């Protein structure tokens, strides 16, 4: 649903400026082909129950430790789907962070390193899904106020560029654990 279904939502609506529609569709379809190839590279990975929107903004810290919030996106998928959004920066920084995140994760559960093939595909899917999420809620009066840039030419030009950058990222070998 994060890929093909999300793209259908975007192409069905009037959100993408006409002159950018074909470029976005082409970049997204090419990216989704690469996503499928990376899933093939990873092979059959175990799926578990996930938060599915696990980033620093959805973790509240108190004296009792971390509390996960915003559970409306829960779903089933590979463990890395809940881990990759904790990584930021360039490839070297993400590699260092990945080692620490996986070290902590392994305190509770085994981690299948084949899932590392899925980090960039999952990032790509999230980009497409996020735009579709906005599109599906655009009739809510709060959304145009909160996201005034959605639907602008600049937003979609940036999305096309980001998808092309993701194609390059997915062409690289996956991050490695030390």
| Residues 6 or more apart in contact with residue 96 via CB below 8 angstroms | none
User: Annotated catalytic sites, by residue?
Assistant: 53, 70
Place of tokens 């578990």: 48
CA 43, 45, 51 angle in degrees (round to 5)? 140
* Cα–Cα distance, 110 to 142 (Å, whole number): 42
């Amino acid at each position: 649903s994060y890929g093909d279904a999300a793209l259908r939502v975007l192409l069905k609506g009037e959100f993408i400026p006409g002159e950018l529609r074909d470029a976005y569709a082409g970049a997204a379809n090419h990216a989704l082909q690469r996503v499928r190839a990376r899933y093939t590279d990873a092979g059959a990975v175990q799926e578990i129950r996930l938060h599915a929107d696990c980033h620093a903004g959805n973790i509240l810290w108190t004296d009792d430790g971390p509390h996960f919030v915003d559970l409306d996106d829960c779903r089933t998928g590979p463990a890395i789907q809940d881990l990759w959004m904790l990584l930021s920066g360039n490839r070297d920084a993400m590699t260092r962070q990945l080692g620490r995140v996986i070290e902590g994760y392994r305190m509770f559960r085994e981690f299948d390193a084949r899932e590392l093939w899925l980090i960039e595909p999952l990032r790509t899917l999230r980009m497409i899904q996020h735009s579709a999420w906005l599109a599906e809620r655009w009739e809510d009066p709060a959304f145009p106020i909160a996201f005034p840039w959605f639907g602008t030419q600049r937003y979609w030009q940036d999305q096309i560029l980001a998808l092309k950058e993701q194609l390059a990222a997915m062409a690289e070998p996956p991050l490695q654990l030390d």
